[in-house]
Amino acid sequence: MSQITILIGAQWGDEGKGKWIDYLGQDHDIIARFQGGNNAGHTLYVDGEKVVLHQIPSGIFHPGKIAALLSGVVINPAELCKEIQMIAEKVQLNPENFLISEKSHVITPYHIRADQLSESSLNRPIGTTKRGIGPAYTDRSQRSGLLMSEFCNPESRKQWIQARRTESPLFRQSWEEDQNLWKEFESSATMLAPFICPVEARIRRQLSEGTRLLLEGAQGTLLDLSHGTYPYVTSSHTIASGATTSLGIDPRRVQRIIGIAKAYVTRVGEGPFPTELHDEDGRLLSRQGNEFGATTNRPRRCGWLDTVAMRYAAEVNGFDEIFMNKLDILSAFDKISIATHYHHPQLGDINTFPEDSRILSGCVPVFRSLPGWKQELKTEGTFADLPQEAQNFIREAEQLCQVPITMAGVGSGRNDYLKLK
Ligand code: IMP
Ligand code: MG
């Protein structure tokens, strides 16, 4: 049992983190999101019903748990209010079970407009979710952002809006043309105010009393602002060290770092993706895996498991183990491929993930092909309950990723998993 666990997406997001946060939530007292905003979409099934959460941490459905949003998060207040109302039948949020950091930053209608504008005017769009994430983090780095604590104080909120209206023509335009959104924005402050508190200090104090904490990442390692495939990344630090920065804690106190990966790879938005498939196999992955964005409903690009990228993700995060999701999706295939390394026309064979996106774009994956199992997988049990071919796939992937694969997700249900170790 670990006191502080960090859960990270090992690929480009959409690895199915929601399912495992829900699972691990049982053994933790506090579940905290440490970065990102409502660009994320965590899908989970509660009592057989599908729930998609964008901002509230996915562990909230276990009774008696505390969910928290830490300083590194950006919040769309009106959307958060809607989410709180959406889950109200399943769980009532109150200042005891839901905490919002006073240091988290606010996404305003202006930020959303700025995101949409830059996506439509860039020669090279990033393919963002257009939720205002990048511009909100830009304001934060620029030191002109709006803190959640200021947002909930009517006087400081007004001052901030007034100052920005004076400074920025685009802000003025948004203020004039997005009045409905601004009204909704301002009125959500009353509902959110009771949740605002010095979360980080409170968690640090509770840790010293033995509380167990799960730090929940959004997006994935390859979308990290520093270590992802820049510029095709999100604007926050998605890797494990992002969690300790957001909380403000001695990184050495973290005992367990788990990487969540799919048994194949998907990516939404633009940017290099070496194992991407444009053939019937890719379409089959998309169909079987129902690979459409939980936030934007965009079709996800699909490809085979990339162990070069996985080794890199394991290195930058320090994964102790990997939970591998959606193994059942591969049941449809006669043959399954795994990328073992890349080949670059000028640089030759490459075993380590190129951190320069231009080099990465020139890489062609080299695959190892394995026989498929072509049968339904059992939805509970252990490694021994997998067909021989699926066992081989896991062994091979584990050896190539150089990290133990300890769990396998084999269905969308809350309990559809195999304990491999
Ligand atoms: P942004 O986070 O909206 O600025 O988008 C930047 C990049 O991150 C785009 O490629 C998005 O598709 C991607 N992205 C953002 N959030 C998610 C997510 O939750 N899952 C997968 N991709 C995401
Ligand atoms: Mg998602």
CA atoms 125, 129, 135, 137: torsion sign? negative
Q: Specify whether the CB–CB gap between 339 and 365 falls below 8 A.
A: yes
Cα–Cα distance, 184 to 170 (Å, whole number): 19
Residues lining ligand 1, Cβ inside 6 A: 12-14, 39-41, 126-129, 131, 133-134, 218-219, 223, 232, 234-235, 268-269
Q: How far is CA 314 from the centre of its chain?
A: 16
Which atom of ligand 1 sits closest to the CA of residue 115? 4
Q: Which residues does 272 contact at the CB level (< 8 Å), separation at least 6?
A: 229, 232, 357, 360, 361, 363
By DSSP bridging, strand 301-306 and strand 264-267 are antiparallel
Q: Is 14 one of the annotated active-site residues of the chain?
A: yes
By DSSP bridging, strand 49-53 and strand 30-33 are unpaired
* pLDDT tens-digit map of 296-352: 888 999 999 999 999 999 999 999 999 999 999 999 999 999 999 999 999 999 999
CA atoms 94, 99, 102, 106: torsion sign? negative
User: DSSP H helical segments within 17-107, as ranges?
Assistant: 17-25, 77-86
Q: Specify whether the CB–CB gap between 42 and 218 falls below 8 A.
A: yes
Which atom of ligand 1 sits closest to the CA of residue 130? 3
**260 pairs with which residues across the strands?**
9, 323
Run of H or E residues at 118: helix 109-121
Nearest-CA residue for atom 16 of ligand 1: 39
Question: Which ligand number lies closest to the CA of residue 136?
Answer: 1
Cα–Cα distance, 421 to 405 (Å, whole number): 8
Q: How far is CA 242 from the centre of its chain?
A: 12
For ligand 1, pick from 39, 124, 270, 295 the residue to mutate: most ligand atoms within 8 Å of CB. Answer: 39
How long a stretch of residues is the chain?
421
Nearest-CA residue for atom 19 of ligand 1: 40
The pLDDT of residue 1 is 59
Q: Is 105 one of the annotated active-site residues of the chain?
A: no
Q: Specify whether the CB–CB gap between 37 and 76 falls below 8 A.
A: yes
The pLDDT of residue 143 is 97
By DSSP bridging, strand 264-267 and strand 321-325 are unpaired
Could you give phi then psi for residue 414, rounded to 5 degrees? -55, -35
* pLDDT tens-digit map of 235-259: 999 999 999 999 999 999 999 999 9
The pLDDT of residue 58 is 86
Q: Which of 46-55, 137-146, 187-196 has the lowest mean pLDDT?
A: 46-55
Which atom of ligand 1 sits closest to the CA of residue 133? 4
Average pLDDT of the residues in 392-396 = 98
Q: Specify whether the CB–CB gap between 370 and 389 falls below 8 A.
A: yes
Average pLDDT of the residues in 38-44 = 90
Q: Give the Å distance between the CA of 386 and the centre of ligand 1.
A: 33
For ligand 1, pick from 234, 266, 297 the residue to mutate: most ligand atoms within 8 Å of CB. Answer: 234
256, burial (CB in 10 Å: exposed 0-12, middle 13-18, buried 19+): middle
356, burial (CB in 10 Å: exposed 0-12, middle 13-18, buried 19+): exposed
Share of the chain above pLDDT 70, in %: 100
Q: How far is CA 362 from the centre of its chain?
A: 27
Q: Is the pLDDT of residue 122 over 80?
A: no
Q: Give the Å distance between the CA of 54 and the centre of ligand 2.
A: 8
Question: Which ligand number lies closest to the CA of residue 268?
Answer: 1
Q: Minimal CA–CA distance to 105: which of 67, 68, 133?
A: 133
Burial 116-125 (b: 16+ CB within 10 A, else e): eebeeeeeee
The pLDDT of residue 59 is 86
The pLDDT of residue 391 is 98
Q: Is the pLDDT of residue 101 over 80?
A: yes
The pLDDT of residue 6 is 98
Q: Indicate the DSSP class of residue 257.
A: E
For ligand 1, pick from 122, 131, 268 the residue to mutate: most ligand atoms within 8 Å of CB. Answer: 268
Q: Give the Å distance between the CA of 413 and the centre of ligand 1.
A: 25
Q: Is the pLDDT of residue 42 over 90?
A: no
Task: Provide the strand spans (E) within 236-346.
Answer: 256-262, 264-267, 301-306, 321-325, 335-344
Q: Is the pLDDT of residue 82 over 80?
A: yes
Average pLDDT, the chain: 96
Q: In the numeric block, which tokens belong to residue 261? A: 């990966």
**339 pairs with which residues across the strands?**
306, 367
Which amino acid appears at position 131 of this protein? R
Average pLDDT of the residues in 52-63 = 91
Cα–Cα distance, 206 to 348 (Å, whole number): 52
Question: Which ligand number lies closest to the CA of residue 53?
Answer: 2
Q: Is the pLDDT of residue 43 over 90?
A: no
Q: Is 316 helix (H, G, I), strand (E, B) or coil?
A: helix
Rounded to 5°, the CA angle 278-282-283 comes to 100
22, 28, 29, 42: which one is catalytic? Answer: 42
Nearest-CA residue for atom 2 of ligand 1: 234
Q: Indicate the DSSP class of residue 377.
A: P
Q: Give the Å distance between the CA of 189 and the centre of ligand 1.
A: 26
* pLDDT tens-digit map of 343-365: 999 999 999 999 899 999 999 99
Q: Which residues does 89 contact at the CB level (< 8 Å), separation at least 6?
A: none
Q: Give the Å distance between the CA of 335 and the centre of ligand 1.
A: 30
Nearest-CA residue for atom 21 of ligand 1: 13
Q: Give the Å distance between the CA of 280 and the centre of ligand 2.
A: 24
Q: Give the Å distance between the CA of 132 and the centre of ligand 2.
A: 17
Q: Specify whether the CB–CB gap between 238 and 29 falls below 8 A.
A: no
Could you give phi then psi for residue 8, rounded to 5 degrees? -130, 145
pLDDT band at 371 (very low <50, low <70, confident <90, very high): very high
pLDDT band at 412 (very low <50, low <70, confident <90, very high): confident
Question: Which ligand number lies closest to the CA of residue 270?
Answer: 1
User: DSSP H helical segments within 178-302, as ranges?
Assistant: 179-192, 199-208, 240-247, 280-288
The pLDDT of residue 413 is 87
**337 pairs with which residues across the strands?**
369
